[in-house]
A and B are shown apart, each in its own frame.
Chain A
């Protein structure tokens, strides 16, 4: 029996620009189970990072959660916690790893100091115990000479090594959830797979759930069990990874998958979804946010924002094409791609 670890319900995030508010994450709901590996995928600018930052209340000053709640363990409402209570969650119950390993560590402090901070904030260990814990952790993330790493400064390490340090730091308090916001995007291709494998293995050891944020469906395929597709601040489709890859329904997801497939098959022209992600100002308009780029757009799409339609038990799609359920077949998508 799976149980829910993190329940995001109707989350909206607004940005204030020149005293005017724009909506950048809109009514997003998703549920992550204990030990689950959950992915969010979408083009850059679709609101993935803002969603993940809202969980730990780390949004920059100009942004704020304007609606919804985020429940941890079904009892703790993260959006309502006091500052002090939130400090207890960060790095302890929920950790986060960011995209840029080169700038994510304080250049003036040793790796030992920076990892030991997490322990100091949340646990009571002696200095000696702490050091041993850090050495063990560095060993687990794949450093062959952990003692040497202790005394290093960030600038002495490569990007891949720094990301390993970030993983060590994130997992040392055995959190319930690890949020990884594009953890491999800035790394060399050869290192990417190693880092993903490492995260997979360690989170399994620790019974930690993963929220993997990425623009890369390959990363989702490699690490996740369930996936949410985001477009322009909305969750447009949600399914198990297998189901999404086999049976994508939302025209945006179909486009994303096709752009990956055409990458694998050099004989076809590279497929990409025409147009750009709308700007926040355009988002305040009503209707489906994908309408301006959708080749299936209907009258209703521009007038009314589609709700989440149920395709089957574990598959939802936010598109008017599915208002009668998941009957719509995919043949003519295939057709539109062939004809490009």
Chain B
């Protein structure tokens, strides 16, 4: 197991190396000029040229790449071309917000989705089941910006709510922090819940059809034990897959929600840096997001092997 984890971590390097080349090339191909966005369209050609030279953009591509990746390997992600701010601390800072938002949303979605999914499976074709299927269909198909808009509208009309501006860390002021985060988390959580609910319902139904459930019933097990100890545990494997994907995606930045609620998260950083052609920031952030995604995958794989004795890694 431990050798497996170490091997997986070593495999990070080729993956991230590939990602770094890919994003580096993409950033050179997209049209637009960082010098132009900084100095404006009426800057003199000389000034633009000078700025490009300062950023090292006149060097051959491979040299630019190695300068960047060499820094990254030593933990120096470079500085933002626009703000001069160091990239890595900025990413980590914003990641805190994204991380909190992701897990808060995930928690909310599990609290809604898993119990409802179980009830729907147990009372198949009942009104509850029908309701759950409609909610999960809506959850899967309504984009979260639409949901966000509706929720903000309702809250604004009912409680004259307006999305708070700025962000306060949880440890700095927990109450204030939650006040800022709760609505975006509810929006994201609700939209995540659809897929989890649907997966919970269908995997539990699938498991309940299996022979071994009949064996457990034949032993004299109460329905509670059949469902929670056996069916749910077996159903957790596909549910975990969905949850892992959702979290992996959200940790990469919840761009739209961050934009709507003006939260300075990772998604917002990537978005603004792209519009301003701030190569260094985009490259660093994408590399970081890829790293997080791979780590979440690894975590999910490790959890699989805890849940299912048939899965063992060597």
Contact = CB atoms under 8 A, between A and B. Distances in A.
B308 A90 contact: no
Interface string A87-111: 1111110011010100111111100
Contact of B210 (A87, A92, A95, A103): A103
A87 B218 contact: no
Contacts of B215: 98, 104-106, 166, 169
A107 B220 contact: no
A91 B309 contact: no
Given A107-B310, A155-B309, A92 B211 contact: no
Contacts of A92: 220
A106 B308 CA distance: 11
B120 to A, nearest CB: 15
Interface in B67-119: none
Contacts of A150: none
A121 interface: yes
A153 interface: yes
B233 interface: yes
A131 interface: no
Given A98-B214, A153-B309, A155-B309, A106 B230 contact: yes
A104 B308 CA distance: 16
B25 to A, nearest CB: 45
Interface residues of B, number: 20
Given A90-B217, A117-B216, A117-B221, A107 B234 contact: yes
A168 B214 CA distance: 17
A169 B152 CA distance: 57
B307 interface: yes
A250 to B, nearest CB: 32
B212 interface: yes
Contacts of A58: 214, 217-218
Contacts of B314: none
Contacts of B217: 58, 90
Nearest to A119: B219
A71 to B, nearest CB: 20
A56 interface: yes
Contacts, number: 67
A97 to B, nearest CB: 9
Interface in B296-314: 307-310
Contact of B218 (A90, A153, A155): A90
B234 A106 contact: yes
B123 to A, nearest CB: 12
Interface centre among B212, B219, B230, B309 (most CB of A within 10 A): B219
B212 A103 contact: yes
Interface in B51-73: none
Interface in A44-97: 56, 58, 87-92, 95-96
A118 interface: yes
A108 B217 CA distance: 16
Contact of B233 (A91, A108, A169): A108
A108 B221 contact: no
B137 to A, nearest CB: 24
A106 B215 CA distance: 9
Contacts of A96: 218
B234 A108 contact: yes
B220 A153 contact: no
B211 A103 contact: yes
A90 B233 contact: no
A40 B167 CA distance: 73
Nearest to B309: A153
- Top 6 nearest A-B pairs (CB, nearest first) are A91-B219, A90-B220, A103-B211, A91-B220, A121-B220, A153-B309
Interface of A: 56, 58, 87-92, 95-96, 98, 100, 103-109, 117-118, 121-122, 153, 155, 166, 169
Given A108-B233, A121-B222, A155-B309, 14 more contacts: A58-B214, A87-B221, A91-B220, A95-B218, A98-B211, A103-B210, A103-B211, A106-B230, A107-B234, A107-B308, A108-B309, A122-B220, A169-B215, A169-B219
6 contacts: A56-B218, A96-B218, A107-B310, A153-B309, A155-B310, A169-B215
Interface of B: 210-212, 214-222, 225, 230, 233-234, 307-310
